[in-house]
Amino acid sequence: MAMGFQVLAASDILPGFLNIYFSVGGMLMFVLTFSLGAGPVPGLLLSEIFPSRIRAKAMALCMAVHWVINFFVGLLFLRMLELLGPQVLYSIFASFCFMAVVFVKKNVVETKGRSLQDIEMALLPDD
């Protein structure tokens, strides 16, 4: 929804003064919802899904990849904004957010109230 506000702000649908409010409001809403929702998930979920014998190395690798990708998104954002324009770029970001929600709904198991051993057993393939 927050990226949708950004797309609306970049379009010609709204009058000029509303574009500013939608743009700033959309960005603030995205930062707030991301920090309360999806932001801390990699650090929390990774510690629960890997078996204890490889947990430390797997988490280190996954978090390194996570931060490298974050670095490149930040590094290339302005260049992509110039090349694609704000409406296309924020539509792409919104699409990725939507795909992430669909992926999580389909593939991530609920871990609340379960021990690490229970989660590990639920994630092991059936042999």
Put simply, whether the predicted model's pTM sits higher than 0.85 gets the answer no
- Contact between 63 and 44 under an 8 Å Cβ cutoff? The reply is no
CB neighbourhood size of 29 (10 A): 17
26-60: per-residue pLDDT in tens?
889 988 988 888 888 888 888 888 888 898 999 99
Residue 77 near residue 93, CB atoms below 8 Å: no
Longest dimension (CA), the chain: 61
Handedness of CA 57, 58, 61, 62 (dihedral sign): negative
* pLDDT bucket at 127, cuts 50 / 70 / 90: low
